[in-house]
Amino acid sequence: MNMKKLMLLAAGALLMTSCGIYNKYERPEVNTTGLVRDVQSNSDTLAVSDTTSFGNLAWRTVFTDPQLQSLIELGLQNNTNMLNAALNVKMVEDQLKVAKLAFVPGFTFSPQGTIASWDGNPATKTYSLPITASWNIDLFGNLLNQKRSAQMALLATKDYQLVVQTKVISNIANMYYT
């Protein structure tokens, strides 16, 4: 009987060691030479000699007209899409905070008190101060995945905010020059 339990325990331990439920992703090597703007020759028209990008410039350096700058600032302050994008960023930042706080233990404190008196007897007072603590252990990576998901959502929302800002600025500048 003991030998049978020992064999089952050993077989279970052997099976559990082979399980790789949550492995870290390793990116495969990809040969990217010659795909985009790779210098092929000195006469190549796609050869890039200047590494500064127009997209990395601040809009104030691109549009130097003071009247246009004031119109762009006014448009950015009052545009409902910009305000909505800013609120979305704030909301996703709060969701990230909540996802990070999932790793912290939780405490519950619920004090209670009762006063009872029967048939004119003096009142009896009863107090209860229960405190409960709980902590989730992230065995299968659920909490970590929620945190990573919130981080990626924050990046996506900030990128969306930048897209909205670029669209508003380009529309204002286009209408100004038209």
172 class by beta-carbon count within 10 Å (0-12 exposed, 13-18 middle, 19+ buried): buried
Give pLDDT tens digits for 98-135. Answer: 999 988 888 899 999 999 988 888 889 999 999 999 88
Give pLDDT tens digits for 161-176. Answer: 999 999 999 999 999 9
Q: Is residue 72 part of a domain?
A: yes
Q: Is residue 5 part of a domain?
A: no
Total domains, the chain: 1
Q: Containing domain of residue 148, as a range? A: 65-104+140-173
pLDDT of 41 strictly over 60: no
Q: Is residue 3 part of a domain?
A: no
CA–CA separation, 177 and 65 (whole Å) = 11
User: Is residue 148 very low, low, confident or very high in pLDDT (cuts 50, 70, 90)?
Assistant: very high
Gyration radius (Cα) of the chain, Å: 31
pLDDT of 19 strictly over 90: no
Given this model, what pLDDT does residue 141 score? 82
